Amino acid sequence: MHDILTSDRSSREMEIIRSAYRTMATRGSHRMSLQDVADEAGVSKALLLYHFGTKDALLFAAMKWALERTAERIRNEMASEGTSEEQIAALVDAIFIEPQANREFYLFYLDLIEHAGRVPSFGGLSKMLDEIINGLYREVIADGKAEGVFDVTDVDVASRHMRALIEGTFLQWIQTEDWRQNHGVWKEQCREALLRLLGARGHQV
């Protein structure tokens, strides 16, 4: 199931995947049962198992869907922008969508990262993250480097640092008591930190 493109799935499978995401975002993988997902999707547990086989296969599919949706949103946001600095701003806008959605995604994401560290069948998660997320960051950084806007030596290393900065920002943000109110502040700080990380003109440390 891991290599099936999200776009190739049936509408029934997509509804199950979205239901798994919503359920896991609110309950967590350890407290979420397949019956919970089936109830959320309005289908039988037997039908859910027919399409996905195991809970792990469903969780993996939900993560792939969430990452692909995020990458698509980022690409769409950046499509109308010109300079590399404007593209970084658009990328941050596409990632920092709104407090509740960001909180739900990162709680879901943290849960799956923890799961991947303990369950061998989730070994493909790191590769998927590298292909979808790091791959997108590499494109943005390579374009900025080619334009002479970003001062980076190794694009691959810079993409990993970029992901670490973004994820680290969110991990700290979700732990703040006033996470709803300070969402915009953390967003702006992340944008500025990314430009400094990439050595953008006028933003060097």
Q: What is the pLDDT of residues 140-174, one digit of tens each?
A: 999 999 999 999 999 999 999 999 999 999 999 99
pLDDT for 77 equals 86
Contact (Cβ atoms closer than 8 angstroms) between residue 197 and residue 147: no
pLDDT for 2 equals 44
- pLDDT band at residue 177 under the 50/70/90 scheme: very high
Please give the residue that has the higher pLDDT: either 180 or 111: 180
pLDDT for 8 equals 59
The count of structural domains within the chain is 1
Which one, of 78, 95, 75, lies nearest residue 86 by Cα?
78
pLDDT for 108 equals 85
- Whether 85 is in a domain gets the answer yes
The Cα 61–Cα 200 span in angstroms is 36
pLDDT (mean) for 18-24: 88
Looking at every residue in the chain, the average pLDDT score rounds to: 87
- Whether 99 is in a domain gets the answer yes
- Whether 26 is in a domain gets the answer no
- Whether 70 is in a domain gets the answer yes
Specify the DSSP class assigned to residue 205.
-
Domain with 76 in it:
62-197
- Whether 41 is in a domain gets the answer no
pLDDT at 195 over 90: yes
Tokens linked to 95: 């990632």
- List the beta strands (DSSP E) in 37-121: none
Look at phi and psi of residue 5 and say left if phi exceeds 0, alpha if psi is from -120 to 50, else beta: beta
- Whether 51 is in a domain gets the answer no
pLDDT (mean) for 60-69: 86
DSSP string, 110-146: HHHHHHHTT-GGGTTHHHHHIIIIIHHHHHHHHHHHH
CATH of the domain at 158: 1.10.357.10
Burial class of residue 200 (count of CB atoms within 10 Å of its CB; 0-12, 13-18, 19+): buried
pLDDT tens profile 108-121: 888 888 877 887 77
pLDDT for 156 equals 96
- Whether 66 is in a domain gets the answer yes
pLDDT for 4 equals 52
Please give the residue that has the higher pLDDT: either 79 or 7: 79
- Whether 77 is in a domain gets the answer yes
pLDDT for 200 equals 86
- pLDDT band at residue 67 under the 50/70/90 scheme: confident
Map tokens 């943005």 to a residue.
140
pLDDT at 180 over 80: yes
- pLDDT band at residue 17 under the 50/70/90 scheme: very high
Contact (Cβ atoms closer than 8 angstroms) between residue 179 and residue 103: yes
pLDDT for 6 equals 57
The Cα 168–Cα 160 span in angstroms is 12
Residues contacting residue 168 through CB under 8 Å, at least 6 positions apart: none
The Cα 203–Cα 196 span in angstroms is 5
